[in-house]
Amino acid sequence: MAYPLDIPQLLQDLTLEEKAGLCSGQDFWHTKAVERLGIPSVMVSDGPHGLRKQDLNPDHMGIGESVQAIGFPTASAMACSFDRDLLYSVGDALGEECVAEDLAVLLGPGVNMKRSPICGRNFEYYSEDPLLAGELAASFVNGVQSHGVGTSLKHFAANNQENRRMSVSAEVDERTLREIYLSAFETVVKKAQPWTVMCSYNRINGVYSSDNPWLLQQVLRDEWGFEGLVMTDWGAMNDRVTALKAGLDLEMPSSHGETDQLIVAAVQNGTLSEEVLDLAVSRVLNMVNKYLAHRQETSYNKEAHHQLAKKTAEQSAVLLKNNCILPLHQGQKVAVIGEFARTPRTQGGGSSHINCYRMESALNALSQEKIQGITFAQGFRTDVDETDPALLEEAIQNAKNAEVAVIFAGLPDSFESEGFDRKHMNMPDCQNELIQRIHEVQPNTVVVLHSGSPVIMPWLDQVSAVLNMYLSGQASGGAAVRLLYGEANPSGKLAESFPLRLEDNPSYLNFPGTRYQVDYREGIFIGYRYYDKKKMEVLYPFGYGLSYTTFAYENLQISKQDATDTDTIIVSVTVRNTGQRAGAEIVQLYVHNPEGEEIRPEKELRNFTKVYLEPGEHKTVTMELDSRAFSYYHTGIHDWYAEDGNYEIQIGASSRDIRLRQSIQITSTKKIPFVAGDTTTWADVERFAKDPSPLKRIQELSGFGSEDSASDDDSLGASTGEMMEKMFADTPLHSILSFSGEALTYEEIQEAIRKLNEQ
């Protein structure tokens, strides 16, 4: 076939029917070919954390077998690395694998927010924080696409639950959409330009994502500058012709020609412009051109990629608790307990399920490392939540005879998967009972957790250590052993808050909603934004994680103490390893917001970096802040706005562990237009109007707002003056007439309002 495809010529040569056909899939995984014109079919593949290429008996939900591939840690795990370079490396490896498997597009990453800890697909998403999710996903996309392979950023947008995900309407206000649910997508589009964006199944404020011109055209293309094609999630098409007009280019999978006929009919009867169809076809052909530019026969080193998967798991694990029991040392008698030590849970269920090339369990790794003094007991079954007395007794006896018990526990596949949401945050009862009973006979108990999302830990106060592996891919067992024995130092930090109870989560009363809609009434306050604002206790805060060493923060420097919202602020801080082991620290930069007109989170993550240090070593790290670091989305101007004020730069080891602080004054160069209306108050005019003098005449005639009008009256109490001043300030202009003498007329108030609005 000729490369590159001559797209303008092809648009002239293609028939109307062929054009319509190119806008839907050939089957589950391929686009259509037009052989007579040399247009090839290209293949896409599921699997944000690994390839799920299916050539035979294809399906969407992972029932059929796929080719063997590397199972990297899921997004919920990788996000805890807070490591842009690591995510780029994983993307780079997956791009190499895509080329070897002759794939055009890898369907991922997913950057939807973790609105609730019980969303069934949370393991596939990065974080509750849009900045962290966007930055890491952009690095991942750049890594994949460095090989001339595309990605599909998903699921655009507000896909935060599995319950009725194909039809529910997410009712979200504009500010919340912009600040929380669209922000990560915006970052990836602007920093990485993914080849494709995948629209979500759900409706947003009553409109299906596939049919939404505001979402797909105004925001995605016009505002953010997206250059690629928009495709549906599998089966997410609602109205094919409406979707084309809205900016939806490619329907997946095949529609058996049914929706192609709808497109043809719409063009023929004049309800769809052929220019709109041509634009969609050109985007599909441009994707094919990109694929052809880098197509080659090659292979990749599976073992090298396995080692990268292990390194990623090590860097992403979060040490939640350690009463000086870890790391373990060679020669200790260790009772390894739990089926997950033998058969690790490495990934979630559903469309991202990988047929792993190799599975490295903890028992495999212990054997390969020739670690002595190990016994193993299954402890529990994963197919049912029932205590097996024989398995429990074997585990208890092993623990009694050991110096340390290490229990590999967590959520089985039946507890979390694509397709359904969890009903609670509990682990299986049989596992909680096992941990409790083991602790009774062995005080030195370590729990290694395998789950895709937060869990309740009723035994937390009793055990000596907790190592959270999340779902860490095919090398998770080897990574866990290296971490337990100190060959690797835990450096991950939580990319989501762990609440004490599900009921504490801000979405609790509105998740998953009713049959037709789910109301995002918590607004911008999800995750730590909510818990920190309410000063609510949590099990573990956002950004939390321990290490086998300690770090000190010193010498916070800010490039400008007084800045405008157009300045780039450089923040530097020195980090020192004050312990005895080499390790990496994640430095988190939060901006504490001032009190202002809008309700804002107490603080928000605005940058982060990861620094590796030898014992005693120190390094100075720098991070940048731009105007968005100080801004909120102002619905009055439909844009980002950094109000004047005193902000505080906070450097922390977590959202609840702020080590250094320094204030900075921001002056806005953007002014909010002032319009006097029926809710405008005296105080509004004084604060926002360019020239408040039109009110002077009203004040003279009415005495309203003067010092005399706010004088104390002993009969009403000592605070009357303050009370009256506040009442005057909050009185709408049109109501002044009711509190004034006869000298003031209605027309004089209206004339003052007109003059205010003429400024």
What residue type is assigned to position 96 of the chain? E
> How far is it, in rounded angstroms, from Cα 79 to Cα 125?
9
Q: Where are the beta strands (DSSP E) in 368-412?
A: 374-377, 404-410
Catalytic residue among 211, 233, 565, 684: 233
Q: Is residue 73 a contact partner of residue 470, using CB atoms and an 8 Å limit?
A: yes
Q: Which tokens go with 514?
A: 């009713």
The partner residues of 31 in beta bridges, in order of sequence, read 25
Which two three-digit tokens encode residue 123? 């393991």
Q: What letter does residue 104 receive in the DSSP assignment?
A: S
Say if residues 120 and 162 touch (Cβ distance below 8 Å): yes
Contacts of 242 (CB under 8 A, 6+ apart): 211
> Within 10 Å of residue 469's Cβ, how many Cβ atoms?
32
Categorise residue 193: left if φ over 0, alpha if ψ from -120 to 50, beta otherwise: left
- Count CB atoms within 10 A of the CB of residue 8: 10
The alpha carbon torsion through 470, 474, 477, 479 (nearest 10 deg) reads -80
Q: Which string of b and e fits 299-326 if b means at least 16 CB within 10 Å?
A: ebeeeebbebbbbbbbbbbbbbbbeebb
**Tokens linked to 251:** 């329907």
Three-class DSSP category at 287: helix
Give the C-alpha separation, 461 to 447, whole Å: 12
Phi first, then psi: give them for residue 462, nearest 5 degrees: -95, -35
User: CB-based burial of residue 643 (10 Å sphere; 0-12 exposed, 13-18 middle, 19+ buried)?
Assistant: buried
* 80, burial (CB in 10 Å: exposed 0-12, middle 13-18, buried 19+): buried
User: What whole-number distance in Å separates Cα of residue 241 and Cα of residue 259?
Assistant: 8
Question: Is the peptide bond prior to 335 cis by the omega test (within 30 degrees of 0)?
Answer: no
103 closest CA partner among 155, 50, 163? 50
CA 646, 650, 655, 657 dihedral sign is negative
Q: Which two tokens stand for residue 455?
A: 């869990």
* Helix, strand, coil tally for the chain in percent (to 5): 35, 20, 45
Whether the Cβ atoms of residue 527 and residue 481 lie closer than 8 Å to each other? no
Give the SS3 label for residue 519.
Answer: strand
Kindly list the strands in the beta sheet with 150-156, ordered across the sheet, starting from the edge strand earlier in the chain: 44-45, 105-106, 150-156, 196-199, 229-232
CB 736 within 8 A of CB 744: yes
> Is 233 annotated as catalytic?
yes
What is the rounded CA–CA span in Å between residue 389 and residue 247? 59
Distance CA 294, CA 373 (A): 52
Residue 562 backbone class (left: φ over 0; alpha: ψ -120 to 50; beta: rest): beta
Q: Which residues are catalytic?
A: 233
